[in-house]
Protein backbone atom coordinates (compact mmCIF):
# COMPACT_ATOMS: atom_id res chain seq x y z
CA UNK A 1 0.00 0.00 0.00
CA UNK A 2 1.33 3.48 -0.78
CA UNK A 3 2.62 5.56 2.09
CA UNK A 4 0.40 8.29 3.49
CA UNK A 5 3.40 10.62 3.76
CA UNK A 6 4.26 10.67 0.08
CA UNK A 7 3.26 11.84 -3.36
CA UNK A 8 1.99 8.96 -5.51
CA UNK A 9 3.10 8.16 -9.06
CA UNK A 10 0.48 6.04 -10.84
CA UNK A 11 0.42 4.37 -14.26
CA UNK A 12 -2.30 2.56 -16.23
CA UNK A 13 -2.39 1.12 -19.77
CA UNK A 14 -2.88 3.74 -22.49
CA UNK A 15 -6.09 2.33 -23.94
CA UNK A 16 -9.72 3.29 -24.33
CA UNK A 17 -10.44 2.72 -20.64
CA UNK A 18 -7.87 5.37 -19.76
CA UNK A 19 -9.41 8.08 -21.95
CA UNK A 20 -10.05 11.19 -19.91
CA UNK A 21 -7.34 10.42 -17.36
CA UNK A 22 -6.46 12.39 -15.30
CA UNK A 23 -9.43 14.76 -15.75
CA UNK A 24 -12.12 12.30 -14.72
CA UNK A 25 -10.04 10.96 -11.84
CA UNK A 26 -9.21 14.44 -10.59
CA UNK A 27 -12.90 15.32 -10.55
CA UNK A 28 -13.67 12.26 -8.41
CA UNK A 29 -10.81 12.96 -6.02
CA UNK A 30 -11.80 16.60 -5.60
CA UNK A 31 -15.48 15.75 -5.12
CA UNK A 32 -14.50 13.23 -2.42
CA UNK A 33 -12.37 15.94 -0.78
CA UNK A 34 -9.45 13.54 -0.90
CA UNK A 35 -7.13 15.89 -2.76
CA UNK A 36 -7.10 19.44 -4.09
CA UNK A 37 -7.10 19.99 -7.83
CA UNK A 38 -3.68 21.65 -7.80
CA UNK A 39 -2.23 18.54 -6.13
CA UNK A 40 -2.82 16.32 -9.15
CA UNK A 41 -1.11 16.34 -12.53
CA UNK A 42 -0.45 14.16 -15.54
CA UNK A 43 2.77 12.15 -15.57
CA UNK A 44 4.70 11.39 -18.72
CA UNK A 45 5.66 7.71 -18.61
CA UNK A 46 8.38 7.41 -21.29
CA UNK A 47 8.43 4.64 -23.87
CA UNK A 48 11.56 2.95 -22.61
CA UNK A 49 13.05 -0.16 -24.19
CA UNK A 50 11.30 -3.18 -22.71
CA UNK A 51 14.07 -5.74 -22.99
CA UNK A 52 13.61 -9.36 -21.97
CA UNK A 53 11.35 -10.73 -19.28
CA UNK A 54 14.44 -11.98 -17.47
CA UNK A 55 15.79 -8.41 -17.32
CA UNK A 56 12.44 -7.00 -16.18
CA UNK A 57 12.20 -9.50 -13.32
CA UNK A 58 15.82 -8.86 -12.33
CA UNK A 59 15.22 -5.11 -12.27
CA UNK A 60 11.96 -5.56 -10.37
CA UNK A 61 13.96 -7.21 -7.59
CA UNK A 62 16.96 -4.87 -7.83
CA UNK A 63 15.30 -1.46 -8.14
CA UNK A 64 13.76 -1.37 -4.62
CA UNK A 65 17.30 -1.54 -3.17
CA UNK A 66 18.44 1.37 -5.33
CA UNK A 67 15.23 3.22 -4.48
CA UNK A 68 15.92 2.87 -0.76
CA UNK A 69 19.54 3.95 -1.19
CA UNK A 70 18.63 6.96 -3.37
CA UNK A 71 15.99 8.06 -0.86
CA UNK A 72 18.48 7.86 2.02
CA UNK A 73 21.12 9.85 0.13
CA UNK A 74 18.61 12.57 -0.77
CA UNK A 75 17.30 12.67 2.79
CA UNK A 76 20.87 13.03 4.13
CA UNK A 77 21.37 16.08 1.92
CA UNK A 78 18.19 17.59 3.37
CA UNK A 79 19.45 16.84 6.88
CA UNK A 80 22.78 18.49 6.07
CA UNK A 81 20.96 21.60 4.85
CA UNK A 82 18.75 21.58 7.94
CA UNK A 83 21.80 21.48 10.22
CA UNK A 84 23.62 24.20 8.27
CA UNK A 85 20.57 26.45 8.50
CA UNK A 86 19.98 25.86 12.23
CA UNK A 87 16.73 24.00 11.55
CA UNK A 88 15.07 27.16 10.23
CA UNK A 89 12.14 25.95 8.05
CA UNK A 90 11.87 29.25 6.17
CA UNK A 91 15.52 29.26 5.16
CA UNK A 92 15.43 25.52 4.43
CA UNK A 93 12.53 25.95 2.00
CA UNK A 94 14.68 28.37 0.01
CA UNK A 95 17.36 25.74 -0.55
CA UNK A 96 15.49 22.44 -1.04
CA UNK A 97 14.50 23.33 -4.57
CA UNK A 98 14.64 21.40 -7.83
CA UNK A 99 15.79 23.58 -10.74
CA UNK A 100 14.68 26.60 -8.68
CA UNK A 101 11.21 25.10 -8.15
CA UNK A 102 9.72 23.56 -5.05
CA UNK A 103 9.47 19.79 -4.91
CA UNK A 104 5.70 19.98 -5.46
CA UNK A 105 6.12 22.31 -8.43
CA UNK A 106 8.65 19.90 -9.94
CA UNK A 107 6.37 16.86 -9.55
CA UNK A 108 3.02 18.54 -10.17
CA UNK A 109 4.06 21.05 -12.82
CA UNK A 110 3.88 18.71 -15.79
CA UNK A 111 6.80 16.38 -15.06
CA UNK A 112 8.63 15.06 -18.12
CA UNK A 113 11.43 12.58 -18.59
CA UNK A 114 14.81 14.30 -19.16
CA UNK A 115 15.61 12.82 -22.58
CA UNK A 116 18.68 15.02 -22.98
CA UNK A 117 20.32 13.52 -19.91
CA UNK A 118 18.78 10.06 -20.05
CA UNK A 119 18.11 9.10 -23.73
CA UNK A 120 15.21 6.67 -23.93
CA UNK A 121 16.90 4.74 -26.76
CA UNK A 122 19.25 3.29 -24.17
CA UNK A 123 18.47 -0.09 -22.65
CA UNK A 124 16.93 -0.29 -19.18
CA UNK A 125 20.12 -1.76 -17.70
CA UNK A 126 22.22 1.09 -19.08
CA UNK A 127 19.74 3.68 -17.78
CA UNK A 128 19.67 2.18 -14.30
CA UNK A 129 23.45 1.85 -14.14
CA UNK A 130 23.77 5.49 -15.21
CA UNK A 131 21.37 6.64 -12.48
CA UNK A 132 23.22 4.60 -9.85
CA UNK A 133 26.58 6.00 -10.97
CA UNK A 134 25.27 9.57 -10.85
CA UNK A 135 23.76 9.16 -7.38
CA UNK A 136 26.92 7.51 -6.03
CA UNK A 137 28.96 10.41 -7.38
CA UNK A 138 26.67 12.89 -5.60
CA UNK A 139 26.94 10.89 -2.37
CA UNK A 140 30.76 10.75 -2.55
CA UNK A 141 31.03 14.50 -3.11
CA UNK A 142 28.67 15.19 -0.19
CA UNK A 143 30.61 12.88 2.14
CA UNK A 144 33.95 14.52 1.25
CA UNK A 145 32.64 18.08 1.65
CA UNK A 146 30.76 17.28 4.86
CA UNK A 147 33.82 15.58 6.36
CA UNK A 148 36.02 18.60 5.53
CA UNK A 149 33.50 20.97 7.08
CA UNK A 150 33.05 18.86 10.22
CA UNK A 151 36.83 18.79 10.77
CA UNK A 152 37.06 22.56 10.42
CA UNK A 153 34.05 23.10 12.66
CA UNK A 154 35.42 20.69 15.28
CA UNK A 155 38.73 22.54 15.35
CA UNK A 156 36.97 25.89 15.73
CA UNK A 157 34.70 24.57 18.49
CA UNK A 158 37.75 23.36 20.43
CA UNK A 159 39.32 26.80 20.16
CA UNK A 160 36.08 28.49 21.16
CA UNK A 161 35.79 26.29 24.24
CA UNK A 162 39.26 27.36 25.28
CA UNK A 163 38.18 30.97 24.92
CA UNK A 164 34.77 30.69 26.57
CA UNK A 165 35.13 28.06 29.31
CA UNK A 166 35.77 28.86 32.97
CA UNK A 167 39.21 29.71 34.30
CA UNK A 168 39.94 26.05 35.00
CA UNK A 169 39.91 25.13 31.31
CA UNK A 170 39.94 28.21 29.08
CA UNK A 171 43.04 29.59 27.43
CA UNK A 172 44.79 32.16 29.58
CA UNK A 173 46.25 34.02 26.61
CA UNK A 174 43.56 36.72 26.79
CA UNK A 175 43.34 36.69 30.61
CA UNK A 176 46.88 37.33 31.81
CA UNK A 177 49.43 39.98 30.92
CA UNK A 178 53.18 40.29 31.06
CA UNK A 179 52.93 42.11 34.42
CA UNK A 180 51.44 38.98 36.03
CA UNK A 181 54.75 37.13 35.69
CA UNK A 182 58.14 37.76 37.25
CA UNK A 183 61.05 38.45 34.88
CA UNK A 184 62.70 35.31 33.53
CA UNK A 185 64.78 33.74 36.28
CA UNK A 186 67.11 30.77 36.58
CA UNK A 187 65.66 29.79 39.96
CA UNK A 188 62.11 31.05 40.28
CA UNK A 189 58.92 30.99 38.21
CA UNK A 190 55.38 32.35 38.26
CA UNK A 191 52.60 29.76 38.25
CA UNK A 192 48.90 30.25 37.56
CA UNK A 193 46.42 28.44 39.83
CA UNK A 194 42.63 28.21 39.35
CA UNK A 195 40.94 28.12 42.77
CA UNK A 196 37.23 27.29 43.25
CA UNK A 197 35.40 30.39 44.44
CA UNK A 198 34.35 28.69 47.67
CA UNK A 199 38.01 27.79 48.41
CA UNK A 200 39.62 31.20 48.01
CA UNK A 201 40.07 31.73 51.76
CA UNK A 202 41.51 28.23 52.03
CA UNK A 203 44.00 29.08 49.29
CA UNK A 204 45.06 32.35 50.91
CA UNK A 205 45.66 30.50 54.18
CA UNK A 206 47.52 27.49 52.78
CA UNK A 207 49.45 28.40 49.64
CA UNK A 208 52.67 29.53 51.40
CA UNK A 209 52.92 26.16 53.19
CA UNK A 210 52.07 23.87 50.27
CA UNK A 211 55.78 23.45 49.49
CA UNK A 212 59.03 24.36 51.19
CA UNK A 213 60.11 27.09 48.78
CA UNK A 214 57.06 29.24 48.00
CA UNK A 215 57.74 32.98 47.98
CA UNK A 216 55.72 34.50 50.87
CA UNK A 217 52.96 36.94 49.99
CA UNK A 218 53.51 36.31 46.27
CA UNK A 219 49.91 35.26 45.57
CA UNK A 220 47.99 37.76 43.48
CA UNK A 221 44.46 37.51 42.09
CA UNK A 222 44.65 37.90 38.32
CA UNK A 223 41.03 37.24 37.27
CA UNK A 224 37.80 35.59 38.37
CA UNK A 225 34.58 34.24 36.91
CA UNK A 226 31.46 32.61 38.34
CA UNK A 227 33.29 29.41 39.27
CA UNK A 228 36.97 30.13 39.81
CA UNK A 229 39.47 32.77 40.85
CA UNK A 230 42.83 32.77 39.07
CA UNK A 231 45.89 33.45 41.25
CA UNK A 232 49.55 33.89 40.34
CA UNK A 233 52.13 32.62 42.77
CA UNK A 234 55.95 32.58 42.71
CA UNK A 235 57.81 29.39 43.64
CA UNK A 236 61.31 28.04 43.22
CA UNK A 237 61.60 25.80 40.18
CA UNK A 238 63.11 22.96 42.21
CA UNK A 239 59.83 22.49 44.13
CA UNK A 240 57.58 22.71 41.06
CA UNK A 241 56.57 19.03 41.13
CA UNK A 242 56.05 19.00 44.90
CA UNK A 243 53.91 22.15 44.72
CA UNK A 244 51.86 20.72 41.84
CA UNK A 245 51.15 17.56 43.84
CA UNK A 246 49.97 19.55 46.86
CA UNK A 247 47.71 21.64 44.62
CA UNK A 248 46.01 18.47 43.36
CA UNK A 249 45.56 17.18 46.91
CA UNK A 250 43.81 20.41 47.87
CA UNK A 251 41.72 20.51 44.67
CA UNK A 252 43.46 23.60 43.33
CA UNK A 253 44.12 23.49 39.60
CA UNK A 254 47.57 24.30 38.25
CA UNK A 255 47.24 25.93 34.84
CA UNK A 256 50.14 24.92 32.62
CA UNK A 257 50.82 28.26 30.96
CA UNK A 258 54.01 30.01 29.94
CA UNK A 259 53.68 33.62 28.96
CA UNK A 260 54.96 34.20 25.41
CA UNK A 261 53.89 37.18 23.29
CA UNK A 262 54.79 35.21 20.17
CA UNK A 263 52.67 32.22 21.21
CA UNK A 264 49.75 34.46 22.14
CA UNK A 265 49.91 36.20 18.77
CA UNK A 266 50.03 32.83 16.99
CA UNK A 267 47.03 31.56 18.96
CA UNK A 268 45.08 34.67 17.94
CA UNK A 269 46.03 34.19 14.31
CA UNK A 270 45.17 30.47 14.43
CA UNK A 271 41.73 31.29 15.79
CA UNK A 272 41.14 33.85 13.04
CA UNK A 273 42.21 31.32 10.40
CA UNK A 274 39.94 28.65 11.91
CA UNK A 275 36.98 31.05 11.86
CA UNK A 276 37.63 31.99 8.23
CA UNK A 277 38.11 28.37 7.16
CA UNK A 278 34.92 27.22 8.90
CA UNK A 279 32.91 30.08 7.36
CA UNK A 280 34.26 29.39 3.85
CA UNK A 281 33.61 25.64 4.10
CA UNK A 282 30.11 26.33 5.49
CA UNK A 283 29.33 28.49 2.48
CA UNK A 284 30.74 25.92 0.07
CA UNK A 285 28.87 23.04 1.71
CA UNK A 286 25.62 25.02 1.64
CA UNK A 287 26.04 25.76 -2.07
CA UNK A 288 26.95 22.17 -2.95
CA UNK A 289 24.15 20.76 -0.81
CA UNK A 290 21.60 22.99 -2.54
CA UNK A 291 22.89 21.97 -5.98
CA UNK A 292 23.16 18.28 -5.10
CA UNK A 293 19.69 18.17 -3.58
CA UNK A 294 18.28 19.35 -6.91
CA UNK A 295 20.32 16.76 -8.81
CA UNK A 296 19.68 13.92 -6.35
CA UNK A 297 15.94 14.50 -6.24
CA UNK A 298 15.73 14.41 -10.02
CA UNK A 299 17.74 11.17 -10.13
CA UNK A 300 15.45 9.70 -7.46
CA UNK A 301 12.29 10.58 -9.38
CA UNK A 302 13.70 9.21 -12.65
CA UNK A 303 14.47 5.94 -10.87
CA UNK A 304 10.90 5.89 -9.52
CA UNK A 305 9.59 6.29 -13.07
CA UNK A 306 11.83 3.44 -14.26
CA UNK A 307 10.29 1.28 -11.52
CA UNK A 308 6.85 2.45 -12.60
CA UNK A 309 7.60 1.43 -16.18
CA UNK A 310 9.09 -1.96 -15.29
CA UNK A 311 6.23 -2.90 -12.98
CA UNK A 312 3.66 -1.65 -15.50
CA UNK A 313 5.05 -3.96 -18.20
CA UNK A 314 5.07 -6.89 -15.78
CA UNK A 315 1.57 -6.04 -14.56
CA UNK A 316 -0.25 -5.01 -17.72
CA UNK A 317 1.82 -6.71 -20.41
CA UNK A 318 2.64 -5.37 -23.87
CA UNK A 319 2.50 -3.00 -25.71
CA UNK A 320 4.46 -0.84 -23.25
CA UNK A 321 2.32 2.28 -23.55
CA UNK A 322 1.12 3.84 -20.30
CA UNK A 323 -0.66 6.91 -19.01
CA UNK A 324 0.52 8.37 -15.73
CA UNK A 325 -0.80 10.66 -13.03
CA UNK A 326 0.76 12.31 -9.97
CA UNK A 327 -1.38 12.55 -6.85
CA UNK A 328 -0.44 14.30 -3.62
CA UNK A 329 -3.08 13.07 -1.16
CA UNK A 330 -4.51 15.36 1.47
CA UNK A 331 -2.62 14.71 4.70
CA UNK A 332 -5.94 14.54 6.54
CA UNK A 333 -7.59 11.99 4.24
CA UNK A 334 -5.06 9.76 2.45
CA UNK A 335 -7.22 6.65 2.93
CA UNK A 336 -10.10 8.39 1.20
CA UNK A 337 -7.84 9.17 -1.76
CA UNK A 338 -6.79 5.53 -1.97
CA UNK A 339 -10.44 4.42 -1.89
CA UNK A 340 -11.28 6.73 -4.80
CA UNK A 341 -8.29 5.47 -6.78
CA UNK A 342 -9.14 1.84 -6.10
CA UNK A 343 -12.74 2.35 -7.24
CA UNK A 344 -11.70 4.33 -10.31
CA UNK A 345 -9.19 1.70 -11.48
CA UNK A 346 -11.18 -1.43 -10.64
CA UNK A 347 -11.57 -2.05 -14.38
CA UNK A 348 -7.86 -3.00 -14.37
CA UNK A 349 -8.40 -6.05 -12.16
CA UNK A 350 -8.94 -8.42 -15.09
CA UNK A 351 -6.21 -6.76 -17.12
CA UNK A 352 -3.53 -7.13 -14.43
CA UNK A 353 -4.61 -10.69 -13.57
CA UNK A 354 -4.67 -11.87 -17.16
CA UNK A 355 -1.18 -10.44 -17.77
CA UNK A 356 0.19 -13.21 -15.58
CA UNK A 357 -0.65 -15.83 -18.17
CA UNK A 358 -0.57 -13.60 -21.23
CA UNK A 359 2.82 -11.94 -20.84
CA UNK A 360 4.98 -14.66 -19.32
CA UNK A 361 4.80 -17.16 -22.23
CA UNK A 362 5.12 -14.34 -24.75
CA UNK A 363 8.51 -13.51 -23.29
CA UNK A 364 9.77 -16.87 -24.53
CA UNK A 365 11.36 -17.80 -21.18
CA UNK A 366 11.81 -21.22 -19.67
CA UNK A 367 9.31 -22.86 -17.35
CA UNK A 368 11.56 -21.91 -14.43
CA UNK A 369 11.50 -18.25 -15.48
CA UNK A 370 7.73 -18.35 -15.95
CA UNK A 371 7.33 -19.81 -12.47
CA UNK A 372 9.51 -17.01 -11.06
CA UNK A 373 7.36 -14.47 -12.86
CA UNK A 374 4.16 -16.12 -11.58
CA UNK A 375 5.47 -15.92 -8.00
CA UNK A 376 6.34 -12.27 -8.47
CA UNK A 377 2.92 -11.36 -9.79
CA UNK A 378 1.13 -13.18 -6.98
CA UNK A 379 2.54 -10.73 -4.43
CA UNK A 380 0.01 -8.37 -2.88
CA UNK A 381 -0.70 -5.35 -5.06
CA UNK A 382 -3.41 -2.91 -6.02
CA UNK A 383 -5.20 -3.09 -9.37
CA UNK A 384 -3.02 -0.20 -10.57
CA UNK A 385 0.73 0.38 -10.38
CA UNK A 386 1.76 3.02 -7.85
CA UNK A 387 5.04 4.14 -6.32
CA UNK A 388 5.51 6.95 -3.86
CA UNK A 389 7.96 9.83 -3.61
CA UNK A 390 8.32 10.32 0.18
CA UNK A 391 8.01 13.76 1.70
CA UNK A 392 11.67 13.91 2.72
CA UNK A 393 11.79 17.71 2.81
The DSSP annotation for 161-198 comes to HHHHS-TTTS-STTT--GGGSPPP-SSEEEEEEEEEGG
Edge to edge, what strands does the sheet with 6-13 contain? 40-43, 322-327, 6-13, 385-390
Flag whether pLDDT at 363 surpasses 70. Answer: no
Flag whether pLDDT at 282 surpasses 90. Answer: yes
At residue 336 the predicted structure's pLDDT band, cuts being 50, 70 and 90, is: confident
Residue 25 lies in a domain: yes
Q: State the average pLDDT over residues 73-90.
A: 96
Helix ranges (DSSP H) in 209-317:
240-249, 261-316
State CA 319 to chain mean position distance.
40
- Asked if residue 19 and residue 145 are part of one domain, the reply reads yes
Edge to edge, what strands does the sheet with 220-224 contain? 220-224, 228-236, 188-196, 253-255
Q: State the average pLDDT over residues 301-330.
A: 92
| Boundary (domain end) residue, out of 193, 226, 258 | 258
> 231-255 burial by CB neighbour count: b if 16+ within 10 A, else e?
bbbbbbeeeeeebbebbeeeebbbb
- Asked if residue 291 and residue 144 are part of one domain, the reply reads yes
Question: pTM for this one?
Answer: 0.78
Of 172 and 304, the structure prediction assigns the larger pLDDT to 304
State CA 118 to chain mean position distance.
26
pLDDT attached to residue 266: 86
The CATH number that applies at residue 211 is 3.30.70.100
pLDDT attached to residue 278: 96
pLDDT attached to residue 1: 61
Residue 167 lies in a domain: no
pLDDT attached to residue 361: 38
Question: Rounded to an integer, what distance in angstroms lies between the CA atom of residue 62 and that of residue 54?
Answer: 12
Cα–Cα nearest to 124, from 57, 72, 170: 57
Count other Cβ atoms within 10 Å, centred on residue 198: 8
pLDDT attached to residue 368: 55
Flag whether pLDDT at 316 surpasses 80. Answer: yes
- Asked if residue 33 and residue 138 are part of one domain, the reply reads yes
- Asked if residue 286 and residue 145 are part of one domain, the reply reads yes
At residue 365 the predicted structure's pLDDT band, cuts being 50, 70 and 90, is: very low
Cα–Cα nearest to 230, from 182, 171, 178, 158: 171
- Asked if residue 127 and residue 27 are part of one domain, the reply reads yes
Cβ partners under 8 Å of residue 312, min gap 6: 11, 13, 45, 320, 322, 385
At residue 379 the predicted structure's pLDDT band, cuts being 50, 70 and 90, is: very low
Render pLDDT for 284-301 as a digit per residue (tens, 0 to 9): 999 999 999 999 999 999
pLDDT attached to residue 320: 86
At residue 76 the predicted structure's pLDDT band, cuts being 50, 70 and 90, is: very high
Residue 235 lies in a domain: yes
Q: State the average pLDDT over residues 251-264.
A: 89
- Asked if residue 119 and residue 50 are part of one domain, the reply reads yes
Looking at every residue in the chain, the average pLDDT score rounds to: 88
- Asked if residue 334 and residue 247 are part of one domain, the reply reads no
State CA 84 to chain mean position distance.
10
Count other Cβ atoms within 10 Å, centred on residue 390: 13
Flag whether pLDDT at 342 surpasses 80. Answer: yes
Residue 1 lies in a domain: no
At residue 90 the predicted structure's pLDDT band, cuts being 50, 70 and 90, is: very high
- Asked if residue 326 and residue 230 are part of one domain, the reply reads no
- Asked if residue 126 and residue 40 are part of one domain, the reply reads yes
Range of the domain at 239: 178-258
Flag whether pLDDT at 18 surpasses 70. Answer: no
Q: State the average pLDDT over residues 111-123.
A: 94
At residue 378 the predicted structure's pLDDT band, cuts being 50, 70 and 90, is: very low
Of 22 and 135, the structure prediction assigns the larger pLDDT to 135
- Asked if residue 292 and residue 246 are part of one domain, the reply reads no
Residue 385 lies in a domain: no
- Asked if residue 92 and residue 39 are part of one domain, the reply reads yes
87 in the Ramachandran plot: left (φ > 0), alpha (ψ -120 to 50) or beta? left
The CATH number that applies at residue 85 is 1.20.1460.10
Helix ranges (DSSP H) in 50-123:
53-84, 89-93, 103-108
pLDDT attached to residue 364: 43
- Asked if residue 143 and residue 282 are part of one domain, the reply reads yes
pLDDT attached to residue 26: 75
Flag whether pLDDT at 359 surpasses 50. Answer: no
Flag whether pLDDT at 357 surpasses 50. Answer: no
Residue 271 lies in a domain: no
Residue 189 lies in a domain: yes
Q: State the average pLDDT over residues 95-124.
A: 94
pLDDT attached to residue 353: 53
Count other Cβ atoms within 10 Å, centred on residue 155: 16
- In sequence order, the β-bridge partners of residue 278 are none
* Least confident residue range of 137-151, 270-284, 317-331: 317-331
Count of domains for the chain: 2
Pairing of strands 385-390, 322-327: unpaired
Residue 139 lies in a domain: yes
Whether the CA torsion 50, 55, 61, 65 is positive or negative: it is negative
Amino acid sequence: MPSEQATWLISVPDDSDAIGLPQSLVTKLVQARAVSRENTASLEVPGLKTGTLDLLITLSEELPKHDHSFTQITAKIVETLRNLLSNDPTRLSQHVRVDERTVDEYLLGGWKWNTGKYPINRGLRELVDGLVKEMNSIDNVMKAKLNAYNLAKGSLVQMQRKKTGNLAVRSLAEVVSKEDFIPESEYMESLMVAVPKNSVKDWETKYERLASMVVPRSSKKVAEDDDYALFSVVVFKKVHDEFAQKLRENKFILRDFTYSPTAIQKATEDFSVAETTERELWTELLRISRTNFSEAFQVLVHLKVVRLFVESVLRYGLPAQFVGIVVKPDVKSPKKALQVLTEHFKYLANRSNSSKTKTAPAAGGSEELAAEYQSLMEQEFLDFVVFEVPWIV
